Amino acid sequence: MRAWLCGLGLLLSGLPVQAAPPNLVLIISDDQGYGDLGCHGNPVLRTPHLDRLARQSVWLKNFYVSPVCSPTRASLLTGLYSYRTGVVDTYLGRALMRPQVRTLAEHLAQAGYRTGLFGKWHLGDNYPLRPEDRGFHETLWHLGGGLAQPSDPPWVDPRRAYFDPVLQRNGQEVQGRGYCTDLFTRSAIQFILRHKDRPFFAYIAYNAPHAPFQVPPEGVQFYRQRDLTPRAFPKIGQPWWNGPKKLDTEAIAAAYGMIENLDANIGRLLQTLHEHGLAERTLVVFLTDNGPGGVRWNAGLRGRKGTVYEGGIRVPCYVCWPHRLKGGQVLEWPLAHIDLVPTLCELCGVPWREPCDGRSFAPWLLGSSEPWPDRTLFFQWHRGDTPEQFRAFAARGPRYKLVQAAGTGPGSSWKPRYELFDLSTDPYEETDLAEKMPEMVERLRREYAAWFTEVTRQGFAPPRLVLGSPQAPEVRLSRQDWRGPRAGWSADSLGHWAVHVARPGRYRFTLHAAVPIQQWELLCEQAQPPRQHGHGTGQTTLCLDSLRLQAGEARLEIRLNDPPVGPTHVIVEYLGP
């Protein structure tokens, strides 16, 4: 299987030529599961605006994404399986999308769209991997995989990171005012109103309801007063909690409060489109990035975030365009994140000529009665620098789904166990047919093996973070992107960064640590000399002035104290020749 060029398919599709291209609003929420909507049968959660949007939209009933954040986002913006983009995981340098991979924003920008990102990026914090380097004209986003994570600046209090958050606006760090979801919506609305007289693409990637579950107090009170145990929810499909630990209803209440706040913000956004006469000519897509990020009701689906069972990869997805699409339609066949780029480009009249793993389903949105060609979709995720064949994957055909769910944990010893489900009659994955249908197991297993060989062909050497570039003369490295066997987020972690020094000259390194710095050692092939060391001041911050670096690729490692641990952040500034 090879990624195929989508451009020819667009040119031959026969869709009528539009007088003017539509605006595009692409909304994705974070860790909101299939059951986290009122219109999906949740009797407790209040989502009136999303429920109304669902009624007005085409429902992609069997829509699939990756089990975790970054891989979904990479596929969503490129039409490629994430392994082709270099993205394999969510942290430790494994969520960096190769700079040569083209994005939806780049294509729409070239076609005259004004493009903006508001919220979560999670595909690289530093040049040349930032959203402003990847086709977005205007940006307001948080670093790393979420607020209250190690990618936040060292002075941020993680206990209140969702309030007055530190964000990146068009390449500059800014202090926000207010709750993060409200801020992202406000900025998106301002962007839309500034560019309402020309085609625009607003990518609104909320970080809610990702943990930690921080929400304004008024948003959680209603849910604290409700029964959030299994007694209050429909008893369908898989049981979602059966102990033995106490159910964390406070976490569920906070997550629901975040989703209700999210719903209200999406309501404000849609109301803005309506009030300014933009709704008819604006294509709105809503989806989520994976299953729920906590233990709560998920409409009977098996599993949750991080698994390749339905509860981890099947998510809500709705497409609304009043001018062209008839609301209330349902597309039943399996679709996925890789399909949205070619579909949206076709609807916008912008040929996608890049390699693409997905298919456009635009004709079917517009009412085509042609049969949808059968195919198999593939999903895989586990911790680690490099994907391993047959580890934690699923192959989803038109009817049958092969699951080998073992091996998600880092460095875990795993033994494959193959399960087969007929999703046409068993959407909750309750009846394993593997022993009864070994030929189907082997067929899907062979298809998966061929897919894995193809999408991993380029290897997984990490993209390098660029130091000293004119575009970003000051860079802050964090534990989000370091690598190595001891790399992690704990106090005793130690890692290194894969970097490229753009300009030779003098550099200042400012080290931030979780412990007092008594001594330090810097190892870098492009430093002069490559190994340098000295004593600290007993403070948690240390400035190393006027270190000389040569241009070129390097492995940068900084060791603090004995036994050695790594810094939490390193700020690298280019000072001149």
Instruction: State both tokens at 554.
Output: 């390097």
Q: What angle do CA 466, 469, 470 make, to 5 degrees?
A: 155
For residue 468, give both structure tokens.
């000293």
Which residue in 573, 577, 576, 575 sits closest to 509, CA to CA?
Answer: 573
The model's pTM is 0.96
In the chain, CATH 2.60.120.1050 sits at 465-576
pLDDT at 533: 96
For 35-93, what is each residue's pLDDT tens digit? 999 999 999 999 999 999 999 999 999 999 999 999 999 999 999 999 999 999 999 99
Residue 6 pLDDT level (bands cut at 50, 70, 90): low
Distance CA 346, CA 11 (A): 9
Taking CA atoms, 488 is separated from 307, 400, 477, 481, in Å, by: 22, 38, 14, 10
| pLDDT above 70 (res 3) | no
Helix, strand, or coil here: 391?
coil
Paired tokens of 421: 């489900």
State both tokens at 240.
């979602």
Cβ distance 484 to 524 under 8 Å? no
Looking at residue 4, its pLDDT comes to 52
What pLDDT does 9 receive?
43
pLDDT of residue 412: 73
Q: Are 452 and 387 in contact (CB under 8 A)?
A: yes
Q: Is 451 helix (H, G, I), strand (E, B) or coil?
A: helix
- The 3-class secondary structure across 94-119, one letter per residue, is CCCCCCCCCCHHHHHHHCCCEEEEEE
Q: What does the pLDDT look like over 365-421, one tens digit per residue? A: 999 999 999 999 999 999 999 999 999 999 999 999 999 999 999 877 899 999 999
Least confident of 63-72, 236-245, 350-359, 463-472: 236-245
Per-residue pLDDT reduced to its tens digit, 553-573: 999 999 999 999 999 999 999
Contact status, residue 149 vs residue 142, Cβ threshold 8 Å: no
- The domain defined by 465-576 folds into Jelly Rolls (2.60.120)
pLDDT per position as a tens digit, 248-275: 999 999 999 999 999 999 999 999 999 9
Other Cβ atoms closer than 10 A to 501: 25
CA-to-CA distance for 77 and 575, rounded, in angstroms? 35
13: pLDDT strictly greater than 60: no
pLDDT in tens, 420-463: 999 999 999 999 999 999 999 999 999 999 999 999 999 999 99
Interval 339-344 mean pLDDT: 98
Please write down the HEC assignment for all residues of 117-160.
EEEECCCCCCCCCCHHHCCCCEEEEECCCCCCCCCCCCCCCHHH
Residues of the chain with CATH 3.40.720.10: 21-286+320-330
Q: What DSSP state is assigned to residue 373?
A: P
State how far the Cα of 381 lies from the Cα of 221, in Å rounded to an integer. 36
End-to-end alpha-carbon separation of the chain, Å?
Answer: 49
Handedness of CA 43, 185, 153, 566 (dihedral sign): positive
How much of the chain, in percent, has pLDDT values that exceed 70? 97
CATH class of 377-455: alpha beta
Q: Give the per-residue pLDDT at 525.
A: 96
pLDDT, tens only, 157-206 = 999 999 999 999 999 999 999 999 999 999 999 999 999 999 999 999 99
Q: Per the CATH hierarchy, to which homologous superfamily does domain 21-286+320-330 belong? A: Alkaline Phosphatase, subunit A (3.40.720.10)
The CA distance from 482 to 294, in Å, is 27
Is 7 a residue whose pLDDT tops 90?
no
471 vs 22: CA distance, rounded Å: 32
pLDDT at position 351: 86
Measured CA angle at 77 (ends 72, 81), to 5 deg: 55
- Indicate the average pLDDT of the chain: 95
What is the structure's pLDDT at 411? 79
Instruction: Find out whether 58 and 367 touch, Cβ atoms under 8 Å.
Output: no
Token pair in block for residue 27: 């909304």
Q: 292-328: per-residue pLDDT in tens?
A: 999 999 999 999 999 999 999 999 999 999 999 999 9
